[in-house]
Structure 1
Amino acid sequence: MSEHIIFYDIASQQPLRTFAPNPWKTRQALNLKGVPYRTEWLEMPDIAPLREKLGVPANRTLPDGTPYHTLPVIQDLSTGEIIGDSFEIALYLDRVYPERAPLFRPLTTGLTAAFNAQVDGLFTKFAVLNDQMPITDIAKEVFVQRHGAKSWDDMKFPDEDREGLFVSFEAALGELAKAYKHTGGTTDHVWRAGGTDKAQAQRPPPGQEEAGPFLDGDAPVYSDFIVGAWLKMSKASLRQEDWQRVSSWQGGLWQRVLDGLEKWSEIK
C-alpha cells in the first residue's frame, strides 16, 4: 500500500527509534488504525523550523511563556491535513478513518482527555529518574542551553535522592493500577508509600495480581496507548536495574501492559 501519512518523530541515538511519550502515543495510534505511513526523524533544532514551514503553531509553552515547538506532527498526503498535537492526531485519525479500529469509544473524548492529563502529570513528576534517555548529543546541547546548566551531567538528579522518589513512584503507579481492575474507591486497597526494605514493598490486593493488559475489553484504545507510551519512555530511559524494578511493581502489571501493546509498537 502507498503511504498516506508522514509521521515526524524525534531522532534518538542510533538505532533510530521512538522514545518520547507523545510520539509513542501517535505511533501506536497509527499502527492500530493501520493507515500506511513513514517516519521522518528530526533533530531537536530542526523541529521548530519544520513546524513553522508547515504552518503548525507551537503546542507547548516554556515556563517563561516562550512558545515551544515539539513533536509529533503528522502530514496526511491524502487529505492535505497537518496536525501537530498527539491528542488531536488521535481525534483526527478516528474522524477521517472511521472504518478502521477506533481509538476512542463512543462519548469518551472528554474522559480520555482528563485521563491523558492525569497520566502525563503522574509520569512527568518522576521524569527526573530517566537519566538514560537515548537522545542525541545535539539534543543534549539544546536542553543544557535551555536550562542554563554547565553540562548534561549537571542536570542529572542526585543519586542520594533517587530512592525516596522511587518509593513515591511505586505508590503513584499503585493508584493508577486500580484502573486496570476497575477499583479505585476511597475505601479499597490504598497504595501507600513504603520504605526501602523489601518487606515494606507494595503488594497488590487479592485478585489484582493479573490485572491488565488493557483498561477495558480485549483490545486497546487511545487510553491504553497513553499509559503504554510513558512505560515505553521509562523502559528506554531508566537505568536497566531501575526498569526491572518498575516493571515488577503491582504484580508485574506494567510489563504485562507493554507486552499486550507490543503488536502496535512497530517502528516503521
Structure 2
Amino acid sequence: MTTSHPIIYYDIASKQPSRTFAPNPWKIRLALNYKGLPYKTQWTNMPDIHSLREGLGIPANRTLPDGTPYHTLPAIQDSATGKLEGDSFAIALYLDSQYPETPRLFRPNTIGLTAAFNQQVDGIFTKHTGLSTKMPFDASIEEEVKAMFVKRVGASKWEDLLPSPEERAKDLVSLEAALEELAKAYQHTGGTTDWVWRARGTATEQKQVPGREEAGVLLDGGEPVYADFIVGAWVKMFEACMADEDWEKMRGWQGGLWGRVADYMERFAEMK
C-alpha cells in the first residue's frame, strides 16, 4: 500500500534555488517522482553529509584513496516503515519491494542486468566528469567543498582537477565516442563496440558514423525503468554542470538523442 507518510529524501544542497545536480541523487529523485510516492527533500550541504549519515546510522558507501570511509548521498528515511537506506541502487530496490502497487522500476528478472548496466554507465560518465566545470556550489561553502573533492581524488589542489583546453577538447571527443557506443543500446543495434579500434568523435580528422534510425528516449520503449533513469541522471548532471557550449554540443550528438533524453526526464524532475 502506498504510504501516506512522506519519505525523507536526503539530497546534496546546491546554490539557490536548491536543485539536484549530482547523478546518484538524480537517479532516486527521478524514481520517486515516477512512482508518485510522497516525499520531502532535506537539502544537506556537502560538508555535513558525513555527520548526517553517521547520525542516522547509515554506513559509508565509498572509500577514499587513502582507505578512509567516504559518505555520499542520496539517502532515504521512510517515515512509514522506519527504513534507512543510503545507496542509490539499494534505494530503488527497496521502493519497488515496499511499494509494489506503484509503477515498477525493475521489470521481472532484470535486477542483475540493471546492476551491470549501472556500473557500465557510471564508468562511461565518471571518466569524463572533468567536463563538469560549472558545478553549482553554494558560494558560502565553495572552498570547503573544493577541498573535499581534492581529498576525494587524492590531488594536491583544486586546479589539478580542471582540464586544460587541450585536455577538454580530447575529453569531448572521448565522451562523444563513448556515447556513440551507448546509443547502440537505444537503437537496438547490438553489442559490437569500436572502443578498441578508432574513437569517432568531434576531432577534425574523425567523422561520426553516418546517422542511423533515430533512437527513442527510452531503452525499450513503453514506460521507463530504472535503467532509463541511470542514463537520464547522468545526462541531467552534465546538463547542469557542463559549460553551456559543451552541453549544446552534447545535446546534438547521436542525432540529438541526449537532448531528447534530458527533455524527457523533465517530467520526473520536480523538486519536492
- Normalised TM-score (structure 1): 0.92
Q: Name stretches of at least 5 consecutive residues in structure 2 with no aligned partner.
A: none
Q: Is the 8 A contact 1:204 1:251 kept in 2?
A: no
Asked if 1:258 corresponds to 2:262, the answer is yes
Aligned partners of 1:194, 1:23: CA distance in 2, in Å? 29
Instruction: Find the residue that maps to 1:14 and give its secondary structure.
Output: coil
Moved more, 117-126 or 46-55: 46-55
Q: Name stretches of at least 5 consecutive residues in structure 1 with no aligned partner.
A: none
Aligned partners of 1:245, 1:127: CA distance in 2, in Å? 16
User: Alpha carbons of 1:72 and 1:157: their partners in 2 closer, same or farther (altered >3 Å)?
Assistant: same
Aligned residue pairs total 263
Superposed displacement of residue 203, structure 1? 4.1
Aligned partners of 1:159, 1:9: CA distance in 2, in Å? 32
For residue 135 of structure 2, the aligned residue among 133, 136, 149 is 133
Asked if 1:180 corresponds to 2:186, the answer is yes
**Amino-acid identity (%):** 61
Aligned partners of 2:148, 2:129: CA distance in 1, in Å? 18
User: Alpha carbons of 1:196 and 1:114: their partners in 2 closer, same or farther (altered >3 Å)?
Assistant: same
Aligned partners of 2:207, 2:219: CA distance in 1, in Å? 24
Aligned partners of 1:111, 1:15: CA distance in 2, in Å? 36
Q: Is the 8 A contact 1:172 1:191 kept in 2?
A: no
Superposed displacement of residue 63, structure 1? 1.6
Aligned partners of 2:95, 2:210: CA distance in 1, in Å? 36
Q: Deviations over 1:32-78 (max 9, x none)?
A: 11110010011112111111111110011112211110000000000
Aligned partners of 1:122, 1:135: CA distance in 2, in Å? 24
Which residue does 2:252 correspond to in 1? 248
Q: Deviations over 1:178-197 (max 9, x none)?
A: 00011124389x98324522
Q: Which amino acid aligns with 2:96?
A: D
Q: Deviations over 1:109-138 (max 9, x none)?
A: 000000000000000011111111112314
Asked if 1:221 corresponds to 2:225, the answer is yes
For residue 149 of structure 2, the aligned residue among 140, 143, 153 is 143
Q: Which amino acid aligns with 2:26?
A: W
Superposed displacement of residue 153, structure 1? 3.8
RMSD: 2.0
- Where does 1:1-268 land on structure 2 (aligned, <5 Å)? 3-136=5-138, 137=142, 138-146=144-152, 147-150=154-157, 152-186=158-192, 192-194=199-201, 196-197=203-204, 200-207=206-213, 210-268=214-272
Aligned partners of 1:248, 1:68: CA distance in 2, in Å? 36
Q: Is the 8 A contact 1:149 1:155 kept in 2?
A: no
Superposed displacement of residue 244, structure 1? 0.2
Aligned partners of 2:193, 2:242: CA distance in 1, in Å? 33
Aligned partners of 2:28, 2:201: CA distance in 1, in Å? 35
Aligned partners of 1:203, 1:246: CA distance in 2, in Å? 16
